[in-house]
């Protein structure tokens, strides 16, 4: 029995093929986003626009567009739905910033810092409502079911993360369950709805769901690694945010599991919020490096990225599939 | 030309006929609410249950049930939809408590005080998502359109209220626009969807919408009066909350409009938050009494209650119509 070895591309994977593939559709999606974030209450577009025009990658709507390309869908229904996906994401970011008391988002002051918590919560609610208006206008009950379920799962994941916060005993399994809900559920839904509008088979729908879900897990793993990576390009959030908030992410879970008794005492104190200085963060980064926890986190991410790539192997090899595969590899490699 | 004078009932109007009318259906609605607020994340039912089992009147789902009785609907679809309406309302209450920094709600500590702002925001999001799952299960795109639009309008109204906060120049017209959005839109939608599931004519749908909208305005006006009514039975929130938060409600708008230059200086300082002591609150209550602003607010409420009653006069006189009419009068009279 021989296994075929698929060589990884020699050059560093980028998001460029994905961006090129989805550029025309993203113009339409962006037009819907700008149009539908408007309101007669001026504070709403001001606050929403601060985040929406703030340089996010719009990866989730891009997944809907790429999925549509992959399955050869020729219509335009998915533009509105991709905008709905981005609105759900934007609403959760606004609420996350309130929940975490964030100071920075995408390299600038977070909305809650500029506009205050009350307006940030309410504009999140507005965008969330708008997303359901957009879906209702499209009229697919199947899409509504997928995205309303994903939204409930995201909220459950966020609450679960809150419950795990400052709990050093959080396991890798629990962590994977949290990021599967808070991040990967929307990646999965964004991908799956492309198959729904294109009226694909259940098997194809599931394949796109699997692609998105695994990609989402990989993405979040690397996000969480970057927060402890002293070499990583800045992501626009403050390095060490997770550390100071006592969030149990995989680099910490692994460094704690692999650490000595003395190191574990450090982690216990740090996660409880008793060690939050710059020197403490440096020590955390050193311990994570000592135990290879960042490489291990990226290795886990690579595993999920490979599952994402294999999930879409049931589709014919075309430009869209290649772009989506490279996006999965990019998710793992970015930040170096 | 003679006008028929309809005498008001001699006894104090109550919600009892409405409660009796909707009691059997409310059992089903309550079962859906309890079932669908569950989650594998224990904090979610704990927090949601704190508010949901906390003795709210469930007036909004009751409107859906009463409307269904009014139009002779015999099915059960409206039970799930009434639960969806209550979930939207509960989500907005949770977010309101975070936005206002409330300490009390329905006579006990507000959820944000017990569970913290982060969990309160997120469980609100969960219930909001659940409401859309319930609507999607029902499958009426018309209902989805009505309730997703109402949700967006509620959020707009809340943001608008935030913008008007601490602004003494807020007019009665602006105030009516705010409560029309933040409160009356959901009353209207809750009533209207009864006509939708019963497949009534557009005219009947609109009549139920008008009933709910006017009732909602009347209800909010009286809520806002009670906050300054020293004789009023306690509503479970702290009296004077609106005053201390600098909310521009009709009693203040009228007392300011009718006040002397000196009184206006007091109001300007108070609404800006420079006069928040108990003595200041007593002075505010005295000024409102001096200018008859509470009676005027209740008179305005009576006007809207009468419009609500007249709106449903197109339906045959039956037990449901009588109960709904008395509910409107109750909305005006309550708290005395």
ipTM of the complex: 0.93
Q: Check residue A3 and give its pLDDT.
A: 57
Average pLDDT over residues B8-31: 91
For residue A123, give the nearest of A203, A191, A192, A37 by alpha carbon.
A37
On whether residue B278 sits in a domain, the answer given is yes
Q: How far is the alpha carbon of B178 from chain A, nearest alpha carbon, in Å?
A: 11
Find out whether B271 and B265 touch, Cβ atoms under 8 Å: no
- Tell me the pLDDT tens digit for each residue of B226-253: 999 876 555 555 678 899 999 999 999 9
- Tell me the pLDDT tens digit for each residue of B296-331: 999 999 999 999 999 999 999 999 999 999 999 999
On whether residue A3 sits in a domain, the answer given is no
From the candidates A156, A161, A178, A185, which should be mutated to test the interface with B, based on the most B CB atoms within 10 A?
A156
On whether residue B169 sits in a domain, the answer given is yes
User: In which domain, by residue range, is B288 found?
Assistant: 16-230+238-333
Find out whether A183 and A250 touch, Cβ atoms under 8 Å: no
Using the predicted structure, report yes or no on whether residue A239 has a pLDDT greater than 50.
yes
Average pLDDT over residues A45-58: 90
Distance CA A59, CA A45 (A): 21
Give residue A105's pLDDT band: very low, low, confident or very high (50, 70, 90): confident
On whether residue A7 sits in a domain, the answer given is no
Q: Which of B44, B92, B162 lies at the smallest CB-CB distance from A159?
A: B44
B293 CB-near residues (< 8 Å, 6+ apart): B228, B250, B251, B252, B254, B255, B258
- Tell me the pLDDT tens digit for each residue of B248-272: 999 999 999 999 999 999 999 999 9
Measured CA angle at B324 (ends B319, B327), to 5 deg: 125
Average pLDDT over residues A261-274: 98
On whether residue B26 sits in a domain, the answer given is yes
Structure tokens given for B52? 């949901």
Distance CA B261, CA A198 (A): 67
Which residues of B lie inside 8 Å of A (Cβ-Cβ)? 39-44, 91-92, 95, 98-100, 117-119, 121-123, 125-126, 128-130, 132-133, 135-137, 139, 141, 144-145, 148-149, 151-152, 154-156, 158-160, 162-163
On whether residue A10 sits in a domain, the answer given is no
Chain A residues inside the 8 Å CB shell of B132: 132, 144, 148, 151
For residue B46, give the nearest of B105, B96, B119 by alpha carbon.
B119
Using the predicted structure, report yes or no on whether residue B9 has a pLDDT greater than 80.
no
Burial (CB count <10 Å: 0-12, 13-18, 19+), residue B91: buried
Using the predicted structure, report yes or no on whether residue B193 has a pLDDT greater than 80.
yes
At A90, is the secondary structure helix, strand, or coil?
A: helix
Percent of chain B residues past pLDDT 90, beyond the cut: 88
Using the predicted structure, report yes or no on whether residue A230 has a pLDDT greater than 60.
yes
Percent of chain A residues past pLDDT 70, beyond the cut: 94
On whether residue B8 sits in a domain, the answer given is no
- Tell me the pLDDT tens digit for each residue of A149-181: 999 999 999 999 999 999 999 999 999 999 999
Q: Which of B42, B100, B125 lies at the smallest CB-CB distance from A95?
A: B125
Which residues of A lie inside 8 Å of B (Cβ-Cβ)? 39-44, 91-92, 95, 98-100, 117-119, 121-123, 125-126, 128-130, 132-133, 135-137, 139, 141, 144-145, 148-149, 151-152, 154-156, 158-160, 162-163
Using the predicted structure, report yes or no on whether residue B219 has a pLDDT greater than 60.
yes
Using the predicted structure, report yes or no on whether residue B273 has a pLDDT greater than 80.
yes
On whether residue A198 sits in a domain, the answer given is yes
Chain B residues inside the 8 Å CB shell of A99: 117-118, 121-122
What's chain B's Rg over C-alpha atoms? Answer: 20
Structure tokens given for A312? 């879409």
Distance CA A220, CA A308 (A): 14
For residue B313, give the nearest of B163, B207, B198 by alpha carbon.
B207
Distance CA B92, CA B87 (A): 9
- Looking at the structure of chain A, the number of domains it has is 1
Q: Check residue A1 and give its pLDDT.
A: 47
Find out whether A162 and B126 touch, Cβ atoms under 8 Å: no
Give the number of other CB atoms < 10 A from CB of residue B315: 19
* CATH number of the CATH domain containing B203: 1.10.600.10
- State which H helix or E strand residue A108 sits in: strand A108-109
Q: Check residue B4 and give its pLDDT.
A: 63
Cβ within 8 Å, pair A44-B156 = yes
DSSP secondary structure letters along B132-182: HHHHHHHT-HHHHHHHHHHHHHHHHHHHHHHHHTT-TT--HHHHHHHHIII
Distance CA A191, CA A176 (A): 20
Cβ within 8 Å, pair B129-A154 = yes
Q: Detail the DSSP E strand segments found in chain B.
A: 104-105, 108-109
Q: How far is the alpha carbon of B327 from chain A, nearest alpha carbon, in Å?
A: 29
For residue B40, give the nearest of B136, B126, B138 by alpha carbon.
B126
- Tell me the pLDDT tens digit for each residue of A2-21: 556 666 556 899 999 999 99
Using the predicted structure, report yes or no on whether residue A293 has a pLDDT greater than 80.
yes
Phi-psi region of A273 (alpha: psi -120 to 50; beta: other; left: phi over 0): left
Give residue B53's pLDDT band: very low, low, confident or very high (50, 70, 90): confident
């Amino acid at each position: 029995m021989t296994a075929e070895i698929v060589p990884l591309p020699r050059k560093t994977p980028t998001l460029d093929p994905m961006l090129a593939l989805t550029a025309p559709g993203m113009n339409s999606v962006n037009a819907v986003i700008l149009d539908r974030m408007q309101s007669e209450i001026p504070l709403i577009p001001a606050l929403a626009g601060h985040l929406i025009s703030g340089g996010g990658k719009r990866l989730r709507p891009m997944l809907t567009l790429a999925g549509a390309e992959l399955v050869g869908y020729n219509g335009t229904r998915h533009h509105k739905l991709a905008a709905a996906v981005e609105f759900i994401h934007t609403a959760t970011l606004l609420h996350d910033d309130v929940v975490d008391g964030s100071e920075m988002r995408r390299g600038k002051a977070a909305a809650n810092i500029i506009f205050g918590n009350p307006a940030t919560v309410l504009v999140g609610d507005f965008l969330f409502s708008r997303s359901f208006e957009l879906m209702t206008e499209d009229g697919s009950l199947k899409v509504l079911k997928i995205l309303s379920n994903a939204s409930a799962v995201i909220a459950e994941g966020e609450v679960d993360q809150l419950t795990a916060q400052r709990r050093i005993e959080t396991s890798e399994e629990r962590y994977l369950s949290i990021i599967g809900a808070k991040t990967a559920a929307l990646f999965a839904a964004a991908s799956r709805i492309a198959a729904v509008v294109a009226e694909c088979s259940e098997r194809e729908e599931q394949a796109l769901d699997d692609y998105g879900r695994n990609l989402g897990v990989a993405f979040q793993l690397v996000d969480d690694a970057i927060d402890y990576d002293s070499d990583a390009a800045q992501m626009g959030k403050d390095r060490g945010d997770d550390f100071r908030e006592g969030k149990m992410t995989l680099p910490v879970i692994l460094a704690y599991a692999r650490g000595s008794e003395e190191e574990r005492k450090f982690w216990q104190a740090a996660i409880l919020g008793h060690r939050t200085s710059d020197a403490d963060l440096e020590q955390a980064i050193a311990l994570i490096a000592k135990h290879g926890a960042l490489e291990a986190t990226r290795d886990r991410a690579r595993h999920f990225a490979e599952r994402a790539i294999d999930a879409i192997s049931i589709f014919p090899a075309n430009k869209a599939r290649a772009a989506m595969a490279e996006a999965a590899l990019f998710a793992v490699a970015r930040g170096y």
